[in-house]
């Protein structure tokens, strides 16, 4: 045979091998894109395809100098070498692994998706089989046939199927869009305008059916709802309402107001020519939680009707009933009918005189629930809601003339101490509620108490452990007992009693210094586990803990944790071993705090016997 044919055959075979490697790489990239390119497993498949392609390329370069993949004899006969078989084995492994994985995923899929995964697995299987046959028949075009067949499978069952499904999805989306437009237009008839706002970017779309609202020249869509709306506030809102209105249109403010609920509302006045008209605004969170939906409505006629009703109501309200509650200067006074929930809110500028109505409504207790979630300090919300509800108010004022409650408001990001006083009016039907700012009073009281308690605190601390001592616990018992006697039974709490095992043995065998270290280690363990509760050392080896708030909510888990650590320390003979008993306050049956302590003490002794192995 002509020697000139050998170089051509060598080049042709080299190109064939390169195309084989490239087809492997392209197939793995296609499959990875179908499986989901973000997944680690899909990325691994692509990486394997690249590795095979790179190894083959390097091998073909080396093959020029040292035939490790193939060579042609002097008779131009193709002779495979070890590298060819390595390349075929790598391909077989890759196609087999991807095929098995695709068939596995198909069993977990349904419908069209299952067929697509099976098509991917079948294409890999065909390639693997024909590559294996190619090994025995190197001159047959089996690999090329495998590529064509695999490509047809992917094209028919994956690409074409996805195109058909995409057409259906597009048609469904158009139909949904038509429905959504109809719904939006219907909703817009109930409001003057509706805004659909992207929370992050501020881009928005506006739908409006109101001629008067369109006269304000507000754009139908824009790039920055927050800034553009604040600018419109400065142009159109009544001067007295501008500061409040402008503060409502910051992304952070809108997100904060929607925390824990789906919507909130507010109102202010917009100038329409020379007339100031009231508008109510409702802000909601969209289903995808990525958009605000803001609706506004002209409620001027409604406000005017309410004002007329209020004027009529004024004629029936005896202002001496309100004046009698002004024993001190309140910031706000509410005149509430507990039965119906109707109320009127007033601000007072002096003792007897100018009472300005600033709020009215028909659901006082609903407003309390809504505003508590926004304005009241999180730690005080439960107390407010437990007191300012219809049943408690009627019952409490049926038994006593008045009650008061101290709590904290969050105003402008700052905590403000507040006192609420509620009493029955002289007509015996309404309740008059006064709210006053007592921040200065609290500050003075804290300074006074700080000066008094600095010296007293030292007397209430246990010198060895740094925890509170028996004196402090006795004072706490007395305080709790007074609350129970005064009917303040709405705050749940529990008492845990703890006793140290092996303290006497430690003192006798290792000395009192080691015993003191054992006591301190036990106190540290209790303070770590009950880290939101006061710990008291009430005896040489006895501690007590008052569980309230967060620790009360997780009381059983905390006690279980202490028992788990103690059992572990007992088994290892290393660390504190503490017996514990806990008892909750039962408002329906407990009248003496000592009864709660004694129940906890009995449970502690049962636990102590378990730790000693007596039970």
Question: How does pLDDT run across 59-91, given as a tens digit for each residue?
Answer: 888 888 888 887 777 777 777 888 877 887 887
32 and 110 assigned to the same domain: yes
At residue 216, does pLDDT exceed 60? no
472 and 496 assigned to the same domain: yes
Least confident of 198-212, 267-281, 598-612: 198-212
How many structural domains compose the chain?
4
436 and 465 assigned to the same domain: no
> Among the three residues 276, 303, 330, which one is the final residue of a domain in this structure?
303
Q: Is residue 181 part of a domain?
A: no
At residue 173, does pLDDT exceed 60? no
Q: What is the mean pLDDT of residues 554-563?
A: 94
- The closest alpha carbon to 519, from 495, 545, 547, 538, belongs to 538
Count the neighbouring beta carbons within 10 Å of the beta carbon of residue 192.
22
Instruction: Please give the pLDDT value at position 129.
Output: 82
Is residue 267 within 8 A of residue 280, CB to CB? The reply is yes
Distance CA 312, CA 287 (A): 43
Q: Is residue 176 part of a domain?
A: no
Q: What is the mean pLDDT of residues 15-35?
A: 74
488 and 545 assigned to the same domain: yes
pTM: 0.31
> Among the three residues 415, 443, 471, which one is the final residue of a domain in this structure?
443
Distance CA 130, CA 100 (A): 17
Instruction: Please give the pLDDT value at position 353.
Output: 39
State the CATH number of the domain containing residue 408: 3.30.450
CA 477 to chain centre: 38
Is residue 192 within 8 A of residue 213, CB to CB? The reply is yes
> Among the three residues 443, 469, 504, which one is the final residue of a domain in this structure?
443
Distance CA 294, CA 218 (A): 14
At residue 179, does pLDDT exceed 50? no
401 and 358 assigned to the same domain: yes
Structure tokens belonging to residue 391: 């049943």
Give, in order, the Cα–Cα distances in Å from 320 to each of 323, 368, 432, 535, 583. Answer: 5, 26, 12, 51, 50
- Residue that has been written with the tokens 């407990």 in this structure: 590
Instruction: Please give the pLDDT value at position 387.
Output: 85
Distance CA 451, CA 457 (A): 10
Residue range(s) defining the domain that contains residue 118 = 5-164
Q: Is residue 178 part of a domain?
A: no
Distance CA 183, CA 185 (A): 5
Confidence of residue 146 (pLDDT cuts 50, 70, 90): low
Q: Using a pLDDT cut of 70, give the percent of the chain over it.
A: 78
Is residue 543 within 8 A of residue 498, CB to CB? The reply is yes
Q: Cβ neighbours of residue 494 under 8 Å, at least 6 residues apart?
A: 546, 547, 552, 555, 582, 583, 584, 585, 596, 600
11 and 156 assigned to the same domain: yes
Confidence of residue 526 (pLDDT cuts 50, 70, 90): very high
Distance CA 427, CA 233 (A): 44
Q: Cβ neighbours of residue 554 under 8 Å, at least 6 residues apart?
A: none
Instruction: Compare 20 and 514 and report the one with higher pLDDT.
Output: 514
Q: Is residue 173 part of a domain?
A: no
500 and 553 assigned to the same domain: yes
294 and 332 assigned to the same domain: no
Q: Is residue 312 part of a domain?
A: no
Distance CA 429, CA 339 (A): 8
Enumerate the β-bridge partners of residue 268.
279
Least confident of 35-49, 416-430, 500-514: 35-49
141 and 40 assigned to the same domain: yes
Q: Is residue 249 part of a domain?
A: yes
480 and 515 assigned to the same domain: yes
Q: Is residue 177 part of a domain?
A: no
Strand, coil or helix: what is 351?
A: coil
Instruction: Please give the pLDDT value at position 119.
Output: 76
Is residue 238 within 8 A of residue 270, CB to CB? The reply is yes
At residue 325, does pLDDT exceed 60? no
Confidence of residue 34 (pLDDT cuts 50, 70, 90): low
Instruction: Please give the pLDDT value at position 90.
Output: 83
Instruction: Please give the pLDDT value at position 452.
Output: 59
Confidence of residue 614 (pLDDT cuts 50, 70, 90): low
285 and 371 assigned to the same domain: no
State the CATH number of the domain containing residue 545: 3.30.70.270
Instruction: Compare 302 and 232 and report the one with higher pLDDT.
Output: 232
Instruction: Please give the pLDDT value at position 592.
Output: 92
pLDDT, mean over the chain: 80
* 148: Cα within 13 Å, side-chain hemisphere: 5
Q: Is residue 182 part of a domain?
A: no
496 and 435 assigned to the same domain: no
């Amino acid at each position: 045979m002509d020697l000139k044919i050998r170089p051509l055959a060598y080049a042709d075979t080299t190109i064939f091998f390169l195309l084989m490697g490239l087809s492997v790489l392209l197939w793995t990239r296609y499959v990875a894109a179908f499986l989901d390119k973000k997944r680690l497993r899909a990325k691994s498949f692509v990486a394997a395809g690249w590795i095979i392609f790179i190894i083959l390329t390097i091998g073909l370069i080396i093959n020029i100098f040292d035939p490790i993949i193939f060579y042609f004899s002097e008779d131009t006969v193709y002779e495979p070498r070890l590298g060819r078989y390595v390349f075929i084995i790598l391909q077989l492994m890759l196609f087999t692994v991807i095929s098995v994985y695709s068939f596995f995923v198909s069993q977990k899929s349904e419908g069209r998706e299952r067929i697509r995964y099976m098509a991917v697995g079948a294409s890999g299987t065909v390639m693997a089989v024909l590559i294996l046959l190619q090994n025995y028949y190197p001159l047959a075009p089996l690999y090329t046939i495998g590529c064509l067949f695999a490509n047809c499978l992917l094209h028919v069952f994956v690409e074409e199927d996805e195109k058909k499904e995409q057409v259906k999805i597009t048609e469904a989306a158009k139909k949904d869009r038509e429905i959504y437009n109809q719904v939006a237009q219907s909703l817009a008839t109930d409001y003057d305008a509706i805004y659909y706002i992207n929370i992050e970017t501020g881009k928005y779309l506006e739908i409006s059916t109101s001629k008067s609202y369109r006269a304000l020249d507000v754009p139908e869509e824009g790039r920055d709802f927050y800034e553009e709306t604040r600018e419109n506030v400065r142009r159109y809102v009544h001067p007295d309402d501008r500061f409040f209105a402008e503060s409502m249109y910051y992304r952070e403010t809108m997100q904060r107001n929607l925390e824990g609920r789906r919507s909130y509302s507010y109102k202010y006045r917009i100038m329409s020519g020379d007339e100031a008209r009231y508008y109510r605004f409702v802000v909601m969170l969209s289903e995808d939680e990525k958009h605000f939906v803001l609706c506004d409505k002209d409620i001027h006629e409604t406000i005017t009707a309410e004002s007329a009703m209020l004027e009529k109501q004024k004629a029936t309200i005896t202002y001496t009933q309100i004046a009698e509650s002004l024993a001190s200067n309140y910031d706000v006074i509410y005149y509430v009918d507990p039965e119906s929930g109707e109320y009127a809110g007033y601000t007072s500028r002096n003792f007897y005189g100018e009472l300005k109505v600033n709020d009215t409504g028909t659901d006082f207790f609903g407003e309390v629930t809504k505003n508590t979630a926004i304005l009241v300090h999180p730690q005080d919300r439960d107390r407010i809601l437990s007191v300012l509800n219809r049943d408690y108010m009627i019952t409490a004022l049926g038994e006593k003339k008045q009650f008061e409650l101290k709590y904290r408001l969050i105003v402008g990001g700052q905590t403000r101490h507040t006192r609420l006083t509620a009493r029955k009016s002289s007509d015996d039907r309404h309740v008059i509620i006064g709210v006053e700012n007592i921040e200065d009073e609290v500050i003075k009281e804290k300074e006074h108490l700080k000066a008094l308690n600095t010296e007293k605190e030292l007397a209430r601390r246990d010198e060895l452990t740094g925890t509170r001592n028996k004196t402090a616990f006795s004072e706490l018992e007395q305080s709790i007992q007074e609350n129970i006697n005064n009917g303040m039974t709405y705050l749940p709490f529990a008492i845990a009693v703890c006793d140290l095992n092996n303290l006497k043995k430690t003192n006798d065998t290792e000395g009192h210094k080691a015993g003191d270290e054992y006591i301190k280690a036990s106190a540290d363990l209790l303070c770590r586990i009950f880290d939101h509760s006061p710990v008291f050392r009430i005896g040489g080896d006895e501690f007590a803990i008052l569980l309230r708030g967060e620790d009360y909510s997780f009381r059983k888990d905390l006690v279980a944790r202490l028992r788990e650590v103690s059992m572990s320390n007992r088994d290892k003979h290393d660390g504190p071993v503490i017996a514990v008993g806990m008892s909750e306050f039962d408002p329906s049956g407990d009248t003496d705090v000592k009864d709660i302590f004694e129940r906890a003490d009995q449970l502690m002794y049962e636990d102590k016997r378990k730790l000693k192995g007596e039970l």
